[in-house]
Amino acid sequence: MKEFKIETKIMTYGLSELPDEDLPLMNAAIKATEHSYAPYSKFHVGAAARLANGVIVTGSNQENAAYPSGLCAERVTLFHAGHQYPDIPVVALAIAAATGGRQVESISPCGGCRQVLLETEQRYGKKIKIMLCGMKNVMIAESAEALLPLCFGSKDLEKK
């Protein structure tokens, strides 16, 4: 038997320590929670993607009475960016959540959204900085791969 360990790095920034360009991205994700359609969970998630050309694209979770037909904020945002700006890489994604009209502490993307983040990263060959926005701190991962160790990606489809 052999064992190997995979390490990942997550940094925590106080709001005042955030790089200048990240504050507007965080605020856009918080604002996006207001457009969430979440009558079932009442858990309102917002996401904001910064593209390589500086454009910010936002999205929020959109639920459905037939539950699996809804979609998370991260995927709404990434798919919107992919459609609207197919040739421009996504370089950062901020995520925030609120319930009962108040922001909640940092949440981390679900497995399905991590897989879509990974696809977006590999599609453009550029790491996506992921910001998990809390009220006082923001947790930052430097790439989608950092949140998805031992991932399955497009290269695996070439295996024979």
Enter the tokens of residue 80. Answer: 């919107």
CA nearest neighbour of 54 among 28, 15, 36, 73 = 28
Phi-psi region at 54: left, alpha or beta (left = phi > 0; alpha = psi -120 to 50)? left
109 scored as a contact of ligand THU (CB under 6 A): yes
Please say which residue, 42 or 53, places its beta carbon nearer to ligand THU: 42
Please say which residue, 70 or 134, places its beta carbon nearer to ligand THU: 70
Is residue 74 part of the annotated active site? The answer reads yes
Binding residue for ligand THU, selected from 32, 51, 72, 148, defined by CB under 6 A: 72
141, 10 in Cβ contact below 8 A?
yes
Give the interface with ligand THU as residue ranges (CB under 6 A): 38, 41, 43, 45, 61, 63, 70, 72-74, 107, 109-110, 113
State the catalytic residues: 74
